[in-house]
Each structure stands twice: as C-alpha cells, then as structure tokens.
Amino acid sequence: MTTIALCQIPVSPDPSVNLKRAQEALAHARGADLAIFPEATLTRYGTRITELAEPLDGPFVTGLAQAAREHGIAVIAGVFEPGDDRVHNTAVALDADGALQAAYRKIHLFDSFGASESSLVAPGDRPTVVELAGLRVGLITCYDIRFPELARALVDQGADVFAVIAAWGSGVLKEDHWITLVRARALENTTWTAAVGQAPNPQESSDGFGIGRSMLVDPLGVVRADLGSGAGVQLVRIDPELTASARRTLPCLEHRVLGVNRS
C-alpha cells in the first residue's frame, strides 16, 4: 500500500507564507510516501500572479524540494510558472529526494462562472503521468476535472491513481459539483482519486477560492476520507489490490467502444 497525505492548507497571497505552511504540513505528514497540496499553493489567484510567478528552480519550488528531501516524502503542489506573455498554472511533482520528476501545465482554463483564467494563464497541451512513491500518478488541476476525456487519457497512459489539485471557487452548487465530479472520475475509470483543495481563507482574502473538501475516493466511487472545510493534514492509504478487484467486478475500461460518438 501507499500512504498519501492530503494537505488541505489555506493559501496566502504571500509565497513565503505559503512555503512555510507547506513545510509545516510536511512535518505533520510523517509516515506518508506522497503529500499532495492544492492548486496555486505558491500564491492565491489574482492579477499579481504574473509578477509572483517563479521559474521551477526558483525559491518556492527549491524550498519545497528541500522539505521533501528532509522528510523523505514525494510532493505534488500547484505553482505559477512564467511564460511568454502569460503564466502557466503548473503542478510540480517532486520525488522523495526533492528531484523534479514532472511539471504539468493545466490544460483546461477556468473561463466560467464569470471568471477568465485565460486572461492571465496560458494553457498547457500535454496530459501528464508521473511515477512517484511507487505509483503512476495522473495529474489533474481543478477545472480539468470537468473533462472526462483527460482522465481517460491518463488511464490510457497507465495512471493507477489521479491526483487532483484545486482552488475550487465557492458558490451555489459548486461544492456539490466538486464532490460529484471527483467521485465520477474515480468510478468511471475504476481508479483511486486523491483530490486536494485549498482550505477557505477569509482572513487573508475575500476572493472565494477554496472550499476544502479534500477527499480520497476509491475505484468504485466510495469516499474513503473527506477533510471537510477546515485546514488539516490527513494520511490515507491506497490499496492496489482494491483496484484489481474493482476492475474484475466492473471491467468498464475493457468494454469501451472506441469512436462510438463519431459519425
């Protein structure tokens, strides 16, 4: 089995504050093989992300890598990476030695519910699966969860778990959407799904990003852990035998009819 730490932290506009919170969360994640942090762990969304974005060898990722190495825990976290005229919303994957193993640039940008992420963020174009802590982890960022074809592409690349990182916006039915979508991606792909969102942080921002509700969902869509809305770190375990059992019972990946929607 693999032990994962769901690190549901509040995110400040200040990267140095967030690095300290991530380092403290890793200290509380003792015994985990992999720690997952939210989208935009570097800094909260807003127009300042263009000036606060850092290269992947900058102080934030370097500090996170040092903490990963110190505690012997692999890490996934969301940062903003400078681009040509806009930044990238990037999920970095560090191994337990602190080495950068992958950087996934968010493909689907949140131009919905009145937001316009694409005005500040340039999209990526490459689904990413990374080997961490003995797992093949498919990386999914926030709005990506609404697009089942991305999760399916990750399964086709051999993902045996999804890591979903988010700064999910609050609002009418939004929390229900989050729970439904995370469970659906797990169930339709019979794949463990570890989804981690920002904890609400009204003391430092009124933007509404961050509802908490970080979860571990098993391959049959059962919620095995739910952190609610408060900040916290919870250790959960992924059992690959349950994946094999679920896929024997529900072999829907084998039953796909490719091209069914094409005329």
DSSP 253: T
Cα distance between residue 63 and residue 123, in whole Å: 26
Contact 62, 100 (CB under 8 A): no
Given a contact cutoff of 8 angstroms between Cβ atoms, the answer to whether 204 and 175 are in contact is no
Which residue among 7, 81, 106, 117 is the active-site one? 106
- Annotated catalytic residue 131: no
In the three-class reduction of DSSP (H, G, I as helix; E, B as strand; rest coil), residue 114 is classed as coil
Choose the catalytic residue: 7, 39, 54, 117: 39
Pairing between strand 34-36 and 100-105? unpaired
Question: 7, 54, 81, 142: which is the annotated catalytic residue?
Answer: 142
Phi, psi of 197 (to 5 degrees): -115, 165
CA–CA separation, 67 and 69 (whole Å) = 5
Q: Are strands 34-36 and 2-8 parallel, antiparallel or unpaired?
A: parallel
Residue 145 near residue 193 (C-beta atoms within 8 A): no
142 in catalytic set: yes
**Strands of 192-197's sheet in order across:** 129-132, 135-141, 161-166, 192-197, 215-217, 223-226
Can you count the helices (H) and strands (E) in the chain? Answer: 6, 12
Alpha helices in the chain (DSSP H): 15-28, 49-52, 59-71, 148-156, 174-188, 240-249
Catalytic residue annotation:
39, 106, 142
